[in-house]
Amino acid sequence: MAIVTAVSATFLLAALAPWLGRVLGTRAGWIFATVPAAIAVWLATRAPAILSGTPIEGRLAWAPSLGLELAFSIDGLGLLFGLLISGVGGLVLIYAGAYLGPHRHASRLQSFLLVFMGSMLGVVWSENLLGLFVFWELTSISSYLLIGFDHERPAARAAALKALLVTGGGGLCLLVAVLMLGSIGGSYDLGALLDERDTILASPWLGAIVVLVCLGAFTKSAQFPFHFWLPGAMEAPTPVSAYLHSSTMVKAGIFLLARLDPLLGSAAWWGPLLTAFGATTMVLGAVLAVRQTHLKRILAYSTVSSLGIVTMALGIGTEKAVVAGFAYLLAHALFKGSLFMVAGAIDHGCGEKDAERLGGLRRAMPALFTASLLAALSMAGLPPLLGFIGKELLLEATLAAPTWTTALVVATTFAAALTVTVAFLAGVRPFIGSLAETPRTPHAPSPGLLLGPGLLALLGLAAAVLPATAATPLALGAAGAVLGDVPEKSLALWHGLTPALGLSALAVAVGAGAYAGRRIVRSGLDRIGALDRVGPERLYGAALKGLLAVAGGQTRLLQSGHLRSYVFITLGTVVLLVGGTLWLRGAVPFDAGPENPTWPELLVGAVIVAGSIATVLSRTRLAAIAALGLAGYGLAIMFVLFGGPDLAMTQLAVETLTVIIFVLIFRRLPQFRSFSTPLRRLADGLVALIAGLMVTGLVLVIARTDTDPTLARWFGDHSVPDAYGRNVVNVILVDFRAMDTLGEITVLAIAAIGVLALLRPGRMRRRHRGRAVS
Amino acid sequence: MDGPPGNANLLPVLPVLIPLIAAALSLLAWRSLAIQRGLGLAGAVGLLASAVTLLVEVERGPILVLQVGAWPAPFGISFVVDRFGAVMTVLAGVVGVATFVFSMGSVDARRQRLLYHPLLCVLLAGVCGAFLTGDLFNLYVWFEVLLMSSFALLALGGGVLQVEGAIKYVTLNLLSSALFLIATGLVYGALGTLNMADIALKVRAGDSPEAVVAVSVLLMTAFGIKAAAFPLFFWLPASYHTPPFAVSAIFAGLLTKVGVYALVRSFTLMFVAESEFTHAILLVAAGLTMAVGVLGAASQREFRKVLSFHIVSQIGYMIMGLALFTPLAIAGTIFYVIHHIVVKANLFFIAGIADRLRGTSSLVHAGRTSLYAKAPFVSALFVVAAFSLAGMPPLSGFFAKFVLLKAGVEAKSWTIVATAAAVGLLTLFSMTKIWAEAFWKAPDPADAPIDRTRSPKPPARGMIGTCTALAAITVLIGIFAGPVFEFSQRAAEQLLDGEQYIRAVLGEQALARLETGGETSGSLRIADGTTAEIGGPR
Amino acid sequence: MNALFAIVAGVLFACGTYLLMRRSIMRLVMGLVLIGHSANIAIFTATGLKRTGPAIVPIGEETLPATAADPLPQALVLTAIVISFGVIAFAVVLVSRVWATAGTDDSNRFREDDDMEAVS
Amino acid sequence: MKNVLLQTATRYLLPLLLLFSVVIFLQGHNKPGGGFIAGLIAAAAFSLHALAFDAASTRRLLRVDLRSLIGIGLTLAIASAALPLAFGRTFFSGLWTSIGGDPATGDPGLKIGTPLFFDLGVYLLVVGIAMLLVLTLLEPAGPTYEGPADESEGDAA
């Protein structure tokens, strides 16, 4: 139950935050942070138990009939992520308070951050895939609202939309995959699904499931070719970038891959897909990062690269690789979160975001510099920091990779080298050299701004120096959740003189060189930059534009605003469907019926036909009304011929009244004009003709069958004895089926009210914005 | 005094009778707006109360039947209440009450004086009549009742946009009515009955001539127009953005759903003999309706027009469930309808509040204020409704979409699953468009068409209250997704169990014919298709 | 004679729908009238035309003779006639309102989609 | 249309036509006729009056406002449907009583029942709506083109 409490406490606080923010003012962040801090502490105390193999569990039935349960379970994987989410989350809440200061909507931001935190905890602790998905989508929504925090800027709105569409699209793929898994395995519970693992692996849907899961994970974790939304998301305020877009949300995709690895890991395409896309993303992200000068964008692209690394590690799938992946993930969360907050603090302190226009800040912000340096060195993979351990393990793992070994080693070393460059660029460059001119005079950050980056950077150091206290158990525990059992291994700074160390040294040397010659490197890369024109980001833009064009085009075509074409299409559809069915099934035999028509009948028929055709052909209003009346009176006579005096009288009266109304109204209307072209008229005539044939056919086919006389007989038998009326039609109307008549008179009453409202609309406010009259 | 015997079970007609009485009395009190208002609201509340009672009754027991006038079925008219009909009636009550409350603060006095309230009452009576009647021709009559009052409401006090929209609406809906009427006559000609249970019995017993398929397709197109399915939806986006917001909202919530209801009723209870054929047509229509509707929404730049096209798109989802024709899929349709009616009406109400605050409904032009900054509560209401509509968890729309997708996956209808998923994304896209343009965008004094003649006025408390209540229902449907889904399942089972319906209306002995008449499965047709067996159930 | 009136119903429906597709809104509303007639004849014919007396129980008898016309279709058509009268009356007046406010009787000149997304 | 001849004729025709409509109404249950047709005949009579004199004087002649008349008709119809409920019968079931019947001779007499009241409701309603249509259309302020139109959505009043 503790888990449920933890998650719901976060959501509860989120709901109260806007109100609390008003009460507490700028200090609110510190208060809000107590909840995540408490969660982190709780997790830490329970960590030994979890790591020794007894996960914490909690359950809240939600909609069991739908297979949806909030079934939580914290294993090694959940512990690692849970600590990151709550730990970094607490720091970010404090940081956000300081960053936004007295901003009017500061507490709104914190509220969304808390929503996000709760959702993220839900994702990483869910035992039930459907529950996981629910929280997964919530992270997308809260991310949307967070990226668009500066909602009055169009760029922020566009970036929020981009992130939402990409991750939302992936979310739908994931949903379908989850549905397929549930359909095969009969449950959405991971445990139950694992029991059905063999069935799932043998399913013909396996390929589709793997691809759909990957689409979900790759979009969320900004893997190539979906990486482009992440740099765009830097439109968000820095606390958001630090939290969502470096240390937590983007890792949700990786979490998903890790979570499903035991289930899908042996599928043929799983490993190669992850390795290939991870490696591509790793290299691409690193290259793109070097090209940037804007601090947050540098960090964003390098985050893309790091996410690629972890994906690749999961793809390789060996014990070494998985451990390396989680060690790197932990290191990355610490150093990247720290660096983002540093970037934000710099921006806050001097109003400049461009790394190349910053310099010499070490004197104004010494403490921040220390934090930044530690984080940057960790990122660069230098000892004695956690980044170093992660990178060493990774190189070792690639060297031992079962397939594609050389390519992976080269790619990883290359990316590591560029990461060194990027680390210096983002974490060191702004502080060294001579003081650069900035929009604001640099001043030291407040404690709130310093706490986050400082603490995270220090943790990166502490975890590396004392790996056994936290880093080793956490990484191994997470790896154990993926691999099935916890590997016998320990993380250490010193591994001896291994090939990995050599590659590492090479990478640092190359990276430092590239940093020194970054102008040359950049101009070189800019030449490749031409590729941007065909890149996925362009594709996204083109797709969006294309979608709008298609949408507009088809809508303009269909919803043309022209009533004529509406009727035409509607009628055409009716004719096609009904006529088609009749054609296919009915094969209308031309059957004139048992009896030949008599002369009066022929005459009446001719009168009605003549009237209706004359209505179509007449060119004046009065002629048309007269013709219409002819058809109507003809109808009345027809009713007389076939034993319907009530009908005939009613038709006669109604027709007379109709003619009167038509005359009264049409005299105020213009003369008939013909608007359509002959071709249109021909097309309309054709459709009308087929429609007429359809009605004739239907009537003929049905008239051939004898109507079951049960009802007619019953009415005839019961009319006099039970309803005291001899006119059976009238008895049906006022007694047997009086409900119809009640509806009928209601229609009449409403029609009269409607006419009254139309003709006596009351006082109209005249305005001159009306359409021009031509 | 003498007359046919009968029980005094009035309950099944109350949802029709109460608003109808309110309307009749309002006509008598045509001089007093206050009385009309009170009567109208009382009528809607009474409708809701009776509908809830009905729902409770059918939840506890069997299908409720009232033989109107105590004339036995299939001779008189039967009012039949099963779970589906009851829940639809409850939803009509909810939207009805919401509309009355919202109207008080939002519809101008001039329109109200044109007998606005009785019109609304009759609209509700017509909608409920359609949901509850068990007679095909009576269904036609109730359709006309609701149609006529919707015509009047649409054109009421009409400006140019309104009457132009109305003429399109009227024309296409009357075409639909004529087709419906012809089809009803043909059904009587072919089967000799109008009672739905009796039709179902005869179709199941194999008494129907083969041409009945063509008649059922004719009915399908007639209801397809009412439901605004592709390619019969044109009247909807042409008119729904023109009347007052309250009227738009009740239309959006209820009217197309009557068409969906009729489709569901026809193709689960009555015309199931050739389901491979008819439901294949429905499936294609469902996919195209979703896609074309959402693309239409993506192309619009006016608040209510985006929403209008979305109605079309979501009708596609509802038809999808019917077309898949599995118990789960039908349950999905029912869940979707429940969710949709509440959310859609609410979005139109919120559009009304937004229009009032912004001074424009255009999404191109910045309004008078950035709602997100200045009206956080309204923004929150919109977020709930919009993300629910887009099918985001944990709101009602997610579960509705989820059930349908699940049904699609289990039926292995990949095309429709892919379409439904993709349309979900596009729905999200157009909801965020409204959000970004109407809520996030900053006011720009240089930007033109804000209607300066309309004085800025805060929304009335009733307006906000209405939207809050409906948003709360949306959230509650999400929280209680389990019970709602279980109810939908029970309702779907009841729908698919035609014999239960037949037994309730015609009595146990009617079913005896099914056993002697051969198979009871839904794929019967008689060999030569020329004559129908003569002889009714009695 | 079934065929005769099936054809008459068809002709009415064809003429009605043709008028429904006219851009002139006055003709359109006349089309609605014809379609209504068509529906009534279709019902009447499909349920079997009988050249017999009205469905009135003769004085002195208790039940309707078997030869009399089927009263139910008549009741249906009667209801339909009345309903369509109400609806047509409203539609005609609506047409006049459209003319009075919009100033045109050409339905193609009604605007509807001026707010659409421009194709970029 | 101020034709003296017509006005004079109307004075005599009006009561006759109304009487005729009552007859048609009353025989409707047993012979062709009924509330709807009878109502239209009565409406025709009043329309004649309106043509002979003017709409305003016809309104005066009718005394009751047409909206109320429609309301009365509808209420009467619903009431006759609901009345059986008071006697423990179901909605719309007919309640009958006979006047002047003689069970001894088997003469059923005149049967009076709720269906007749229902039909009366129909009759009144039909008179109401037919007159509303005719009078509204006859009175001047009818539809003529009114210039730039009102486009209000009506939500600001």
Residues A369, A362 contacting (CB under 8 angstroms): yes
Which of A218-227, B214-223, B240-249, C104-113 has the lowest average pLDDT? C104-113
pLDDT confidence bin for A631, thresholds 50/70/90: very high
Q: Report the gap between the CA of A569 and the closest CA in chain D (Å).
A: 29
| Distance (Å, whole) CA B266 – CA B278 | 11
In the predicted model, is pLDDT for residue A355 greater than 90?
no
Chain C residues with CB under 8 Å of D38 CB are: none
DSSP D102: B
- Residues of chain B below pLDDT 50: 1-8, 518-538
pLDDT confidence bin for A591, thresholds 50/70/90: low
With helix as H, strand as E and coil as C, how does A233-302 read? HHHCCHHHHHHHHHHCHHHHHHHHHHHHHHHHCCCCCHHHHHHHHHHHHHHHHHHHHHHCCEHHHHHHHH
A771 touches chain D (CB under 8 A): yes
Domain contains D56: yes
pLDDT confidence bin for C64, thresholds 50/70/90: confident
Instruction: Please give the backbone phi and psi of residue A58, each rounded to the nearest 5 degrees, phi first.
Output: -155, 150
> Which residue type is seen at B19?
P
- Chains in contact with A, where contact means 3 or more Cβ–Cβ distances below 8 Å, are B, C, D
Domain contains D148: no
Find the angle CA(C88)-CA(C89)-CA(C95) to the nearest 5 degrees: 85
H-state helical runs in B115-230 = 116-132, 136-155, 160-191, 196-204, 212-227
pLDDT value at position B465? Answer: 94
Specify the 3-state DSSP secondary structure of A545: helix
Q: Are B152 and C90 a contacting pair at CB < 8 A?
A: yes
> Tens digit of pLDDT for each residue in A520-557?
888 888 777 666 666 788 888 888 899 989 998 888 88
| Distance (Å, whole) CA A695 – CA A700 | 8
Q: Compute CA distances A544 → B89, B301, B390, C120, whole Å.
A: 41, 16, 18, 11
> Which residue type is seen at C74?
Q
Q: Which residues 29-68 of chain C have a CB within 8 Å of chain A? A: 30, 33-34, 37-38, 40-42, 44-59, 61-66, 68
In the predicted model, is pLDDT for residue A499 greater than 60?
yes
> Tens digit of pLDDT for each residue in A368-387?
999 999 999 999 998 889 99
Nearest CA in chain D to C94: D143
β-bridge mates for residue A126, sequence order:
A72
Domains of chain C: 2-52+70-104 (1.10.287)
pLDDT value at position A303? Answer: 94
Domain contains D95: no
Give the domain extent around D43: 4-76+114-138
Q: Which of A132, A737, A763 to mutate to test the interface with B (most CBs of B within 10 A)?
A: A737
pLDDT value at position A142? Answer: 92
- Top pLDDT among A495 and A17 is at A17
**Summary mean pLDDT of chain A:** 89
pLDDT value at position A595? Answer: 73
Helix axes B414-434, B376-389, angle to 10 degrees: 170
Nearest CA in chain B to D80: B69
A650 touches chain D (CB under 8 A): yes
Domain contains D105: no
pLDDT value at position B157? Answer: 75
State the DSSP H helix or E strand holding residue A73, giving kind and residue range, or none if neither.
Answer: strand A68-74
Mean pLDDT of A310-332: 94
> Which residue type is seen at A108?
R
Nearest CA in chain B to D64: B28
Reference B138, options A727, C76, C45; nearest CA is C76
**Summary mean pLDDT of chain C:** 86
pLDDT value at position A605? Answer: 94
Chain B residues with CB under 8 Å of D70 CB are: 27
Q: Are A764 and D138 a contacting pair at CB < 8 A?
A: no
> Tens digit of pLDDT for each residue in A642-693?
888 899 999 999 999 999 899 988 888 888 888 888 899 999 999 999 999 9
In the predicted model, is pLDDT for residue A580 greater than 60?
yes
Mean pLDDT of A202-210: 93
- CB burial of B94-111 (b: ≥16 within 10 Å; e: otherwise) equals bbbbbbbbbbbbbbbebb
pLDDT value at position D109? Answer: 62
Which of B180-194, B492-506, C52-66, C99-113 has the lowest average pLDDT? C99-113
Q: Which residues 68-87 of chain C have a CB within 8 Å of chain A? A: 68-72, 74-79, 81-83, 85-87
Domain total in chain D: 1
pLDDT confidence bin for D140, thresholds 50/70/90: low
Q: Compute CA distances B236 → A381, B161, B306, B389, whole Å.
A: 62, 14, 12, 18
| Distance (Å, whole) CA A308 – CA A297 | 17
Q: Report the gap between the CA of A528 and the closest CA in chain B (Å).
A: 33
Domain contains D145: no
Domain contains D10: yes
Find the angle CA(B451)-CA(B456)-CA(B460) to the nearest 5 degrees: 125
**Summary mean pLDDT of chain D:** 79
ipTM: 0.92
pLDDT confidence bin for D106, thresholds 50/70/90: low
Mean pLDDT of A482-505: 84
Q: Are A552 and B428 a contacting pair at CB < 8 A?
A: no
D150 touches chain C (CB under 8 A): yes
pLDDT value at position B362? Answer: 84
Which of A446-460, A580-594, D141-155 has the lowest average pLDDT? D141-155
Mean pLDDT of C41-57: 86
pLDDT value at position A774? Answer: 31
